[in-house]
Chain A
Amino acid sequence: MSKNRSILSVLKGDFFSKKESQNYFPFLFLIILLLLLNIRLSFNAESLLKESLKLERQITSLRLTYVNTKSELMKVYKRSEIEGLVKAQGLNSSNNPPRIIDFHE
């Protein structure tokens, strides 16, 4: 009988109204606060992780843009490409060796 009663009292929440239990309230509040803080921090960590992944994607995108642009630059950097571009202006590459000037301080 006493067992049934104790279960019933737990289900009814009677132990909350007891004076001895009320002494534990600050502690309970602290636990609840910590739980809420934990949940909040978890969400925060997840959003940071999402932000980090987004930045990683941006890095990948920028790297691909760099590689792509550099590859395009290499194509136009060829001597024959440059010669082709300036040919219309009557310019071509010289076969005369350069004159080197050494600068001594």
Chain B
Amino acid sequence: MHIIPLLPIAAAKSHMTGIDWIAIGCYFALLLGVAWYVVSKNKDTAEDYFLAGRNLGWWVIGASIFASNIGSEHIVGLAGSGAKDGVAMAHYELHAWCLLVLAWVFVPFYMRSQVFTMPEFLERRFSVGSRYVLSLVSIVTFILSKIAVGIFAGGVVFGSLLPELQITVGGIVIDSFWIGSISVIILTGLYTMLGGMRAVAYNDAVQVVVLIGGSALLTFYGLDKLGGWNVLREVCGSDMFNLWKPLIPAGVESTWAPVREVNATGEVTKMAWYFNNQFPWLGMAICAPVIGLWYWCTDQYIVQRALGAPDQRVARQGSIFAAFLKLFPVYLFIIPGLICYAIVQKEMIPELSAEFNKPGGSQGAFPLMVQYLLPPGLRGIVVAGLLSALMGSLAGVFNACSTLFTVDIYEKLRPKATQAELVNMGRIATAVMVIIALIWIPVVKGAHGLYEYLQSVQGYLAPPIFVVFFLGVFWKRLNAQGCFWAMMVGFVVGAFRMAVDTPVTLGLFKSYPEGSLFWIVNNINFQYFSILITLISAVVMVVVSYLTAEPDQKQIQGLTFATASAQDKAETRASWGAQEVIYSCIIMAFIIGAYLYFRG
């Protein structure tokens, strides 16, 4: 009996050599050694465990933010997306500007409040009820979007590198995907539990150098193999280099009615414009920024890094450095996917083409490129970097989940809990979340693509959080009742969409009855639905706030733009530096340049 084989590419042979495995083994031995070393210097307080004692330097903060973001789901998912759909998903990676919003807009509020978690900030701005809702929504989001996706990506990497690996336990055959997934979880959990965020932050700094260096070499050698950038553009065609896809595909009649008509050959001839799933520019232009601002400015997983800074200036500098690093993923992760596609089209490496052309094979574009384009030794280091990126982002999520559950839920229920008890509860909670995520993996597998799945889940769950944080900071009249109901209603609508999608994604049936409500909901482009959730949440927040009493001005002192004191503003202004402004402008110029270049 086989555990569900999740990888069709498992029939091929591994190309990893002894040198590669020695490199990987040494790399992980060192990672665990660092964790052990950190433990010997560690204190036992929750603050030290969770926030590294609030004394991280700017470059550690920036590298940690970047490395926490860049997991194997990015490298694997982005390259897979590039190999399949070109640069379409690059909208989600040109989000360095969102980090600049964190640096210049949100850092002052977070540093001023000296909070552990984002829900704690929400409690101070609104109410305890808002905090609980956010904690629960965040934990659900982490499990479905980060942990499950990270594990799946790790499994894809292992399946690509060690396709022959399998073990038999009690008559059940476990393939390389599951072996890899479980192994990475255990390793990650080990060093997270041992060292907490401090070990995560330090290892993140190392992984950034390995990832960027290794990916750059892969991109360079890939382009050389192919024949250069112009050849890549010629083989891929203009559509794969276009960020601004049309609202409706060419040759299809657009309509407002909820219909999808096909001709005798199965091609779509008429369709509701909001059913178009080919990454139309309107959805990208509005939805991607909402998700980006939620992720980089309000998500516990990322903001926790900036909270490790001793003051506003260091937090801002770290965020700007992270923004600079965030310029690279499009060129280091998406472009290799296009290179892989082009190499396959030109049939330059038959073995690679054979793996790529299997169902779902394009998802393994990056590990396939590593196997076939890099020499042994360096290949092992890049693979180690790939695996450690997975571990880094998983570790970050484990730590964030521990923090959220322990500080925002458990400590509220048991206020007399000791520090050691809090740390232990965090570990137990993390283990439970991992088990749930493992059960969810078949849903990830059934989605259109790993990276698109990630964005869709975030698109359904994140908008209410984005709304309450951003409107809460900029609009002082909005109160706790408005925040609470905005999140509740938004979460219910998002959960409804996920519940409608899941049976179809799992393949329980092909489609709902055409024309039915569920069929319409299931077919709406996920980005348009995300925008709908954002609008609903915003309207609910404003309406409910104005129908109820305005908030206590003393309570929200310093927590909105309008209620910041003169001293607060002076302190923030004093933390600005000319260099930070210049670097921010340079980063914006690069982003605008990318949007202008990738127009087909």
To the question of whether A and B form a pair in one complex, the answer is: no
Give the B-binding residues of A (Cβ under 8 A): none
- B residues apposed to A, CB below 8 Å: none
